[in-house]
Amino acid sequence: MVIERIRTILGRNRRREKPAPVPLERGVIPWLLAVALATSLPHAEHLPLWLTLIFSTLLIGRTWLWQRNARLPARWLLALIAITGTAGIAWHYRTLFGRDAGVALLVFFMALKPLELHARRDGLVIVMLGFFLLLTHYFHSQSIPTGLWLFATTILLTATLIRMNGGGPSPRRILGDAATLVAQALPLMLVFFLFFPRVQGPLWGLPRDAHAGLTGLSDRMSPGSLNQLIQSGEIAFRAQFTSPLPARSQLYWRGPVLDLYDGLTWRANPRNALRSANKPAAVEILRPNFADYTLTLEPHNQRWLLALDLPISFPEGTGLWPTFETLAREPVRYRTRYSFRSALDHAANRDETPRMRTQSLRLPANLNPRTRQLAREWQETLGDPERISAAALRFFRDEKFFYTLQPPLLGEHAIDEFLFDSRRGFCEHYAAAYVVLMRAAGIPARVVTGYQGGEINPIDGYLTVRQSDAHAWAEIWLEGRGWTRVDPTAAVAPSRIERGIGAALPAGDPLPALVRVDGDWLRRLQQLRHRWEAANNAWNQWVIGYNPQRQREVLSRIGMKSPDWRMMSLALAAGSTLILAFVAIGMLCRRTKAPADQRAWLDLCRALERHGIHRLPWEGPFALAERVCREHPELSEITKEAAGCYATLRYGETNSPEHLRALQNCTKRLASRRRKTR
Amino acid sequence: MTPSPHSTQLAKVIAAANRVILGKDAQVRLALACLLARGHLLIEDLPGVGKTTLAHTLARLMGLQFSRIQFTSDMLPADVIGLSIFDRERSDFRFLPGPIFSQVLLADEINRATPKTQSALLEAMEERQVTVEGATRPLPEPFFVIATQNPSTQIGTFPLPESQLDRFLLRLELGYPDRAAERALLEGGGRRDTLPDLAAALTPDQIGPLQSAAAATHASPALLDYVQALVEATRNSPRFIHGLSPRAALALLAVARAWAFLAGRNMVVPEDVQAVLPSVACHRLQLADSAGHARPEDIAGLVRTVPVV
């Protein structure tokens, strides 16, 4: 009994008749094909070529079938294509799960589904799949063009739904209606965007492979590694200064500090991170010369942040290493904002630990004898570390060194060859050679990598720092002064520091586009890029980068000091209600907006009201005129004429503009009569 | 607006009728409008207020062939329609047409007849033809029935059922004359005597064109909106058991057209609809709170709920 009843409730027992499918109108099919194309097109960039080819073949084939009004392929053939395609995707990605394989599968099905378009239901499946595919584009790009494309596609999807439900006389009208619908949703979207409680990072967790292939500094430096980075015009980060912009020669954005050298590669010592083994970083402020700024860091999948030499206050969740690198707790996977204050005139660790000092003296044995020889000579003749450093810089300046991004390959004794033979190189060569010289002369020294300079975007005032601004410099530890920054590149190519890499390099060296600007049209192009990047930056700051922190900022600006989720829900509800109320009022107003003849008549009635005559709601024009004749004979002429005009306009066969003018004229006469009698 | 030949003809009719029936201009016009709208007229009031006189006057003025039936409770359908009698000379049945075979039929005190006789008349009104013993005979053109009835509270009446009341385009109540009119009546003596001398103001073949012209009066979309709003108001009002039927809505529009035509206008305005609404609607609306039909004041209240813009 009981089981029987449960079955009845679950509907198992009911032998349901399958309803006949609602047939699909032929005119809907082009819309659905457009949906399939628009929702999948941007994915072509990441999909394997064979899948793109299959996709276009299937869609073109479907269009052809539509044009010829031919029969759709048999079910077994579709099944065969589906299985083959799925197998192909599984083979290509080695899985069917995860971001890329999943998207590939969806796109493939999107091309396949139109081939079994029999009923309205199939059309709806395509539209819903389209809406889902829309979201997947954000895995790859969250830029303005993507946003615009997806917005347009949303309108197309909505229009397809309208078309499927039989609306609209022409495609233009349907698209117009869809655009109106979507536009009406925009204010609501804005309220939800502003007030819906935010979570850190994107709403969906990205798989691990999402961050592969990000460019940026690394924790090791071997010949040519920086060189590759400098070829990239990508943006590393943007900085917005609230204090005056420091001089360009002070814009040293500090990245990883490299102090282990094996003769070829410079690496960061992992022990540097250990607080127990090291003295904590101590920055003494020599003069109150501060820089306050906010970094918007592009994701580089590493923990270090790039503060100006040297930061004294940090955002939450970041800290200073004993080697004065600023690090976040987690690798930077999303575009993130950090606010810093840096002391530009500082002394760093005047009392450095012996361990750190000896580590900064270590050199591989038996390498670079000529360099060691030179250093030893300086040590004997000059003695004082500062004078040795000055001698080294003088050496770079006076001997024939060239600054170039295309240095010759160096052999085993790389520093020797560079210092005495090739003498061609760029920042990493000079920094490395300088540090080796100093270490050989008994002065603790290390390589610092990071970025130098940057470019102010005149549109929004942000300082843009690109990968091409990557730089390497040196630091020596001096008794009583602590770690002191020395940039040997400045000795060789001062313009690198003063005016940027484009100015320092000889003409003909390959550089990313627009780093070197000569000529009018290039300048114009650069201007264009400034604009584009400023727009992008605003988008990144306010749309993509609208995280809990930003949300708190915005909410506190509109008066919600400590917003919790209750307040936010309230704001959400209030905002939505407000918008709906506006919409409702707008609709009501539109309904009461009458045609011109009615408005003119109502104007006349208002004019009569000023004479003390109130038209009754059910009173027609002639009835009103008759009453006016009885009660206010002095107005009877005007009212009679007006009533005649209005009756002709509204109830007559011809709707002539003269009558309308005459009616409006009556209103004016009534108004002027009123003034005269006053 | 220059007066058209139609309106001068009609003005003559109205003026002549007003000389006979004193102080009842609106009712005369409504009766005339009913004729122009090709409908049948029901006049309901107490005995002695001039119902028959009005019917008679109209028939005379329009120069139509006129016959009269005084309904009684023992009347049979054959008395209305006619009957076949055996003609000895020709050894055949001969049809003797009843009084219904005339252009204007005055059916006096229709609610005194039995339902059987009533329905014989009412079928003829609707079909404009009579079928007797298998032969269908058309009625003359125009065919216009003016029926009078006493209020149903009077003794010895068979009230007309709803469906048959609906056959009458208009129902009029004459009411007592006002003081001045009654005085003139008293001074001038009974008006019935002047009737035989009344000259026709129209000829029968003028009536067809007049009816067509009246039906062509323009009703704009705005006016149709208003008519629909009124009809909807009767349907939504809790005061009435049922609202007006689509046929009633058509009747309302037709009479409003004729009313506007009588006023010499070539378009219908809401005032026309309002003017004819009580006569069109009262006998078609049943009050919810009391047995009986809607009164003109109920209709006036209804009109006030529907704004005219």
Which of B224, B269, B273, B305 to mutate to test binding with chain A, by most A CBs within 10 Å of its CB? B269
Tokens 């058309």 -> residue: B138
Positive/negative CA dihedral, B99, B100, B105, B107: positive
Q: Which of B144, B141, B106 is nearest to B125 (CA)?
A: B144
- Under an 8 Å CB criterion, which residues of B touch A? 218-220, 222-223, 266-271, 274, 303-309
Cβ burial, residue B31 (10 Å; 0-12/13-18/19+):
buried
- Active-site residue identified among A219, A259, A309, A487: A487
Cβ burial, residue B72 (10 Å; 0-12/13-18/19+):
middle
Of B271, B305, B307, the CB nearest to A622: B271
Please write the tens of the pLDDT for every residue from A518-577. 677 888 888 888 888 888 888 887 887 787 777 887 888 877 777 677 777 888 888 888
Q: How confident is the model at residue A214 (pLDDT cuts 50, 70, 90)?
A: low
Token pair, residue A317, equals 């969740």
What pLDDT, on a 0 to 100 scale, did the predictor assign at position B2? 45
A598 and B309: CB-CB below 8 Å?
yes
What span, in angstroms and rounded, lies between the C-alpha atoms of B274 and A521? 79
* Domain extents in chain A: 28-164, 214-553, 596-677
Q: How confident is the model at residue A108 (pLDDT cuts 50, 70, 90)?
A: very high
What span, in angstroms and rounded, lies between the C-alpha atoms of A308 and B303? 83
A122 catalytically annotated: no
| Interface contacts (A, B; CB < 8 Å) | 49
Which of B223, B271, B274 to mutate to test binding with chain A, by most A CBs within 10 Å of its CB? B271
Of B222, B303, B306, the CB nearest to A651: B222
Q: Which domains does chain B have, with CATH numbers?
A: 1-187 (3.40.50.300), 216-309 (1.10.8.80)
List, for chain B, all residue ranges whose pLDDT scores fall below the cut of 70.
1-4, 152-155, 189-196
* A73-82, A107-116, A631-640: the lowest-pLDDT one: A631-640
Q: What is the mean pLDDT of residues A448-475?
A: 88
Please write the tens of the pLDDT for every residue from B29-75. 999 899 889 889 998 888 778 888 888 888 888 888 888 888 888 88
Please write the tens of the pLDDT for every residue from A121-134. 899 999 999 999 99
Helices (H) and strands (E) in chain B, counts: 12, 9
Q: What is the mean pLDDT of residues A633-641?
A: 87
The 3-class secondary structure across A236-261, one letter per residue, is: EEEEEECCCCCCHHHCEEEEEEECEE
- Active-site residue identified among A43, A471, A611, A659: A471
What span, in angstroms and rounded, lies between the C-alpha atoms of A251 and A451? 8
- Which chain A residues are closer than 8 Å to B271 by Cβ? 620-623
Give the bridge partners for B92, in sequence order.
Answer: B87
* Complex ipTM: 0.84
pTM exceeding 0.90: no
Query: Collapsing DSSP states into helix, strand and coil, what is residue A616?
Result: coil
A351 catalytically annotated: no
Helical (H) or strand (E) element with A447 = strand A445-452
Token pair, residue A277, equals 């083994």
Q: How far is residue A532 from each of residues A456, A526, A644, measured CA to CA in Å?
A: 14, 10, 63
A427 catalytically annotated: yes
What pLDDT, on a 0 to 100 scale, did the predictor assign at position B259? 93
What span, in angstroms and rounded, lies between the C-alpha atoms of A446 and A349? 14
- Which chain B residues are closer than 8 Å to A659 by Cβ? none
What pLDDT, on a 0 to 100 scale, did the predictor assign at position A439? 92
Please write the tens of the pLDDT for every residue from A337-382. 888 999 988 888 888 888 888 888 888 888 888 999 999 999 999 8
Long-range contacts of A363-369 (CB under 8 A, 24+ apart): A363/A261, A363/A436, A363/A439, A363/A440, A364/A261, A364/A262, A364/A263, A367/A263, A367/A412, A367/A413, A367/A415, A368/A263, A368/A413, A368/A414, A368/A415, A368/A416, A368/A436, A368/A440, A369/A413, A369/A416
* Beta strand spans in A260-310 (E): 260-261, 266-267, 283-285, 290-297, 304-305, 307-308
Q: Find the radius of gyration of the CA atoms of chain B.
A: 20
What span, in angstroms and rounded, lies between the C-alpha atoms of A229 and A10? 64
Top pLDDT among B122 and A76 is at A76
Query: Collapsing DSSP states into helix, strand and coil, what is residue A493?
Result: coil
Q: How confident is the model at residue A208 (pLDDT cuts 50, 70, 90)?
A: very low
In the predicted structure, residue A607 carries a pLDDT above the cut 80: yes
What pLDDT, on a 0 to 100 scale, did the predictor assign at position A222? 78
- Contact between B41 and B172 under an 8 Å Cβ cutoff? The reply is yes
Q: Within 10 A of A166 (CB to CB), how many other CB atoms are there?
A: 9
What pLDDT, on a 0 to 100 scale, did the predictor assign at position A280? 77
What pLDDT, on a 0 to 100 scale, did the predictor assign at position B67? 86
Helix, strand, coil share of chain B (percent; to 5): 50, 15, 35
What pLDDT, on a 0 to 100 scale, did the predictor assign at position A650? 87
What pLDDT, on a 0 to 100 scale, did the predictor assign at position A3? 62
A513: Cβ contacts below 8 Å, ≥ 6 apart: A233
Query: Collapsing DSSP states into helix, strand and coil, what is residue A328?
Result: strand
Helical (H) or strand (E) element with A470 = strand A470-478
Q: How far is residue A591 from each of residues A582, A584, A586, measured CA to CA in Å?
A: 14, 11, 9
- Which chain B residues are closer than 8 Å to A648 by Cβ? 267
Please write the tens of the pLDDT for every residue from A152-169. 999 999 999 998 887 777
Q: In Å, how far from its chain's centre is CA A428?
A: 32
Helical (H) or strand (E) element with A320 = strand A318-320
Q: How far is residue B165 from each of residues A78, B110, B170, measured CA to CA in Å?
A: 70, 11, 9
